[in-house]
Structure 1
Amino acid sequence: MSDRDVVLARIRRALVDVPRSETPDDVPVPREYERAHVPDGAEASEELVDLLAENLADYRALVHRTDADGLPLLLCRLLLARGSGTVLVPPGLPPWWLKAADAVRIHDRAASTPDELDAVDSVVTGCAVAIAETGTIVLDGGPDQGRRRITLIPDHHICVVRVPEQVVASVPRALERLDPTRPLTWISGPSATSDIELDRVEGVHGPRTLEVVLLTE
């Protein structure tokens, strides 16, 4: 008997008393495990944002804080510091975010080739949710985020997180807000990998530089 046969036999024995008509949704699964390791909710919003900023920085993301009045000038300054002459813009990005920037806007188009996207200096997006415990930003292809590829090909990504509205404590809390049928991209710092000798290389399968703006609204 092969290993495959052994595994399948065990599965059949485990399911012997399960009616064939039963589906996974027919039997509720108790989820009594701890869903977050830090307090969340309105009373803990400031602490959550601080934890998010700390973990983002630990992943080598560059973290900035501002309010609505300061956002256009901050984005302008970040693009200038990068020397960005072009910036990729999702279709639903609020126009006022980049009203102070001089960079040429490149719009997210289905016809854009990878080479065209690679030639863009920077991309600015919003996000779907940010996870404080893990320092993770999640994109779901919403109007202010655009197609997944526009945040994977350009070398410089500026992501704006509305705080505390979009900040949650943990991954389970984030999953409650996300639609699993959407194209989810989970970002923990700039793209990086290591070889067998643990030499870190950044920019392998995404932006080499990730800047996160925590926008207090």
Structure 2
Amino acid sequence: MSARDDILRRVRSALSDVSPAVDVPPAPRAPDRGDLVALFVERVEDYRAEVTRCAAADLASVVADVLGPARAVVPPGLGLEVAGSVTDGGLTAAELDAIDAVVTRAAVGIAETGTIVLDHRPDQGRRAISLVPDLHVCIVDAGQVVADVPDAIALLDPRRPLTWISGPSATSDIELDRVEGVHGPRTLHVVLVG
């Protein structure tokens, strides 16, 4: 018998007359990848965000369709050609305010909460570009979707700036009247690849 087993035996013995035995339910099964992605889509849409799914080969055309005539700013490391876009090189707040949309990638997507996390690497750009334009088109790879917040935190570097996005920017007044776009994009469109 190991020391661990001996200690646990003594703890069980000491507690045997204190509380009745409790049946511990089995640990829930880990959801498969398809379940996670479907839950992520459902939760993102619950926040009044739009989701478009596509294959990697169709990404550029889907992003172009989502943007329509909107002029977009993109981070320098986006890795995707967006027609008519401006690459951010430190645009001022006034310059960003004159741009209709931003296209970024994400660090991770969280299925349970429908949250997208940006850690502002070169493919996501600095925080200002994801907060000032009225439309945020965020590209999330299906492989980046995790089950819950602890899974996301395990993947994120706590030394990096993090922006957690759960739907379009919104707030409510004392009478619970919802107002969107007060402190960030009024519209969030997630392009889910894969």
Same fold by TM-score, threshold 0.5 exceeded?
A: yes
Q: Deviations over 1:58-87 (max 9, x none)?
A: 00110100001211111111111xx31x21
RMSD of Structure 2 on Structure 1 (CA): 1.4
Aligned identity (percent) is 58
- Inter-partner Cα distance in structure 1 for 2:53 and 2:146: 17
- Offset of residue 50 of structure 1: 0.2
Of residues 80, 85, 106 in structure 1, which corresponds to 2:86? Answer: 106
Deviation at 1:108, TM superposition (A): 1.2
| Gap change, CA 1:116 and 1:197, over 3 Å in 2 | same
- Long gaps (5+) in structure 2: 1-26
2: CA distance, partners of 1:38 / 1:206 = 37
Distance in 1 of aligned mates of 2:150 and 2:104: 24
Q: Give the structure 1 partner of residue 61 of structure 2.
A: 73
Provide TM-score, normalisation by structure 1.
0.75
Instruction: Measure the CA separation in 2 of the matches of 1:126 and 1:143.
Output: 9
Could you say which residue in structure 2 is the equivalent of 1:59? Answer: 47
Aligned ranges 1:162-181 → 2 under 5 Å: 162-163=141-142, 165-181=143-159
Structure 1 outlier segments of 4+, above 3 Å: none
- Can you list the C-alpha shifts for 1:119-176, whole angstroms capped at 9, x where unaligned? 111110000000000000000001110001100000000000001x201000000000
- Structure 1 unaligned segments of length 5 or more: list them: 1-35
Q: Please, what TM-score do these two structures have when normalized by structure 2?
A: 0.83
- Check the 8 A contact 1:37/1:170 in 2, yes or no: no
Amino acid at match of 1:171: V
Q: How many residues align?
A: 168
